[in-house]
Structure 1
Amino acid sequence: MLAAIQFAVEQLKVSRIIVLGHAQCGGIRALMERPARADGEPDYLNRWMDIAEPARQQVLSQMPAASLAEHRQACEQASIPG
């Protein structure tokens, strides 16, 4: 992905890149449902989920009584930079 972005900017002279999220994101679902993990060897999925972890924490603290579906939807929205 990073190589594609670099190529677009440097070779194709793309001036704007828009990063979007989407509804019913499998990555956000995994983030919201993942159990607490012990420290271990990092993998790419956990690295990505660590990036979105602040959104997860925000949703859980602001909406403690919400359903899992409501948590997922709120986290999808919170993980997209404004």
Structure 2
Amino acid sequence: MWYLEAFDNDTELLAGEYLLREMSVEIVKEILDIDDSDFELPVGIRQNDVPLDKVPEFAKYINEPFKIDQNCEYEVAFLTE
């Protein structure tokens, strides 16, 4: 499942993890304008940095209360449980 992860800038610890419903690798690549040929690992098996201005596009896929924290770095990743 795809998750948006927030990491606190001060502590570098995970501050939040949000399930992205109906997310796909194609949507991630479109939002982040990623071409897999630019990277050693494909999008689906690595964490991908999400610029703050792109976080709202991922937030559309979160089904719980969510507020962007300016003191966090965001990443999107496919995580298995």
Give the TM-score category using the shorter length: under 0.3
TM-score with structure 2 length normalisation? 0.23
